[in-house]
Structure 1
C-alpha cells in the first residue's frame, strides 16, 4: 500500500461529513472534480470503495466508516499537537467556553466566577446550538460546553459530562399575581395565564406531566425556548412563568417579580461537557470544582437569562 496521503484523507472526511461532492467542494473551496479525483486516489491506495451512491447523496460503505473513524483520530491528534505548541510561550491563559444560546446568563456568570478579574486569564465566550457547539468541542475550538442538554453517548462518544448544578423550578409572576397565588397552587395553575417553555424541552415535559396528574387544563399565554424571553414576558406581566429562579434572580431581589410557588419534583440540571484530551486546558480545573460527578448515562435536559 502507498503512503497515506493526508490531503486525500482530509477531502474524504469533508465529503463524509457533507454527504455530497458538491457540498464538500463548496466547503473546501475547490472544484468538485478535484474532490472526486482525490477520493478515488484514496480508495485506490486503500484498496476499498469508501462510498456508495444513493440518489444524489454519498453514503459510507463499511470500509468508509472504518476509514472515517481513523481519520477523525488522526486529525484530532493533529489539532491537539498544533493547539498545544501554539500555546507555548503565551503569557495569558485562554479558556474558550461554548454555551447553549438559551442557557441562563446568570448560571454562565456563576460558572466563570473563579476566572473573572484575573489578569492572567482571557475568557472567550461563544453561544450556539447544541449540535454546532459539540462540533466545536470535538474540533477543539472550544474547551468546554455549558448546557442543560446531556448529549447522547455510546461507546464511541468522546464526551465527558460533568454535572454542575441542579436548580428548582418555580412559578414566577408580577405583583398582580399575588392575590391569585394566595388561593393555592391548583387555582393559580388553572386560572392564571401561563408562560411556558416549548413542548420539546424536558422542563416542559415535567410540567405537563404534573398538571395532567392534577387534572388541570392550563391557560397558555406564551411559549418560548429562550429563558431570557420567558423572563421578559414575566416582567411584562404577560402571565406566570415556569422558570428556574436563578434566571430571574435580579428581578426577585428587586421586587419586580415574585416566586409564587416552587414546583414539586421539577428541576433543571446544568452540565459542563468536555472531551478527553492529552493536554487539557489547565483552567478547566479552576471552574470544574473537585468532586463534581461525571455523567455516563443517556438523558436530556433543557434553559437562559
Structure 2
C-alpha cells in the first residue's frame, strides 16, 4: 500500500470540514483536483473509503479510520522534520509563509535576502492570502507560518493550537488628497465630513477603522470599498476621499497623497503565527528572527506584549464521523 502524504492531507481536511469544496478551499486546490486525488487514494488502498448517496458522498467506516490515522501520520512527519533540522550541522528546510501585500513588499525582501546570506539552505516560499485567512491556513497545515495582525482597538480572536511571535508594530496615519488637510496632525472626527475609502467590513482592517470612527463619534460615509492600501491611496490621489494607511503601506504611496499623523493613536501589531508543535523548528525560528530584524531596521521594533483577545479563541467544529457532503452536485470520482 502506497500512502501519499498530500492525499492523506486532503482526506484529513475532508474529515475535518465535511465537504470536498471546503477541503479544497482550505488547501488552495480546486474541488475537482481534490476529488480526483481522493479517488486515487481509494484505489491506492484498495478498499472503499467513500460511498455515494444520491448527490452526497460520505466517508465509510474505513474512510473515517484512515482519516484518523492520517492525523497521526502527518503529525509524525512534522515531528520528524523538526528532529532532522535540530540534528543537522546546518539548517536546510523549505517553508511556505502566508503574506499580504504590505508585509510582502515592506518586510520580506530585506528579511529573505539576509536569511539567504546567513542560511542558504532555508528556502521560503510565499502565498498571498487575505490577512483574515492566514492563521487558519497555518492551523490546517497548508502553511508553515503566516503573518497575522491585531489592531489596538480590535484584537483578533486566537486559536490556542497556534503560537505567535510579534515582529513589528505599525502606526496608522490619515492619507488625504494633497493639500486637503493643512495641519501636521488630525483626528478621525475632523475627517468625518470627508468621503472615505475603506476596506470591507468583513476584513480586520475595515472593521477596525469603522470601530475607530464610531469611537470618535461618527459613522464614515464610505464611497469606495477596496481591499489593498495601495488601491485606496491611488483613489485618494485622485481626490475621491480619505483613508487610513499603515507604516508598511506608506512604501506604496503614489504622488498626490499627503500622510498626516493621527491624533487618535491607532496602531497594529504584526506577528508571525505557527503551530505550537513547530515551536522548536530551527528554520522557522530563523525566519522569525530575520523578519523581526528587518522590522527593527525600519523603525518598527515591537514590544512582545500582545493585545488580549476579546473573545474565546475560535474552535472549529469537526464534522461527525460520517457527516454528509451536502453541496448540490458535488461528486467524488469513484471508479
Instruction: Give the TM-score normalised by the residue count of structure 2.
Output: 0.61
Q: Are the counterparts in 2 of residues 172 and 258 from structure 1 also a CA contact under 8 Å?
A: yes
Q: Rate the CA distance shift 1:222–1:281 in 2: closer, same or farther, 3 A.
A: same
Q: Are the counterparts in 2 of residues 173 and 241 from structure 1 also a CA contact under 8 Å?
A: yes
Gaps of 5+ in 1: 41-49, 301-305
Give the CA deviation at 1:57.
3.6
Deviations 1:103-157 (A, max 9, x none): 4335433882783561642553312336477546754x75421222757425xx3
3-state SS of the aligned residue for 2:180? helix
Distance (Å, rounded) in 2 between the aligned partners of 1:118 and 1:200: 40
Which structure 2 residues correspond to residues 41-190 of structure 1 after superposition, within 5 A? 56-58=56-58, 68-81=67-80, 93-94=92-93, 96-109=95-108, 112=111, 115-116=114-115, 118=117, 120-121=119-120, 123-129=123-129, 131=133, 134-135=136-137, 139=141, 142-148=143-149, 152-154=158-160, 157=161, 159-179=162-182, 185=187, 188-190=190-192
Give the CA deviation at 1:77.
1.3
Correspondence for 2:13: 17
Q: Are the counterparts in 2 of residues 98 and 144 from structure 1 also a CA contact under 8 Å?
A: yes
Greater alpha carbon shift after TM alignment, 82-91 vs 21-30: 82-91
**In terms of Rg, which structure is larger?**
1
Q: Are the counterparts in 1 of residues 196 and 220 from structure 2 also a CA contact under 8 Å?
A: yes
1:38 aligned onto 2:47: yes
3-state SS of the aligned residue for 1:264? coil
Considering only aligned residues, what root-mean-square deviation do their CA atoms show, in Å?
4.8
Distance (Å, rounded) in 2 between the aligned partners of 1:240 and 1:220: 9
Q: Rate the CA distance shift 1:31–1:246 in 2: closer, same or farther, 3 A.
A: closer
Greater relative contact order (Cα 8 A, min sep 6): structure 1 or 2? 2
Instruction: Give the TM-score normalised by the residue count of structure 1.
Output: 0.65
Provide the aligned length of Structure 1 versus Structure 2. Answer: 278
Distance (Å, rounded) in 1 between the aligned partners of 2:237 and 2:86: 45
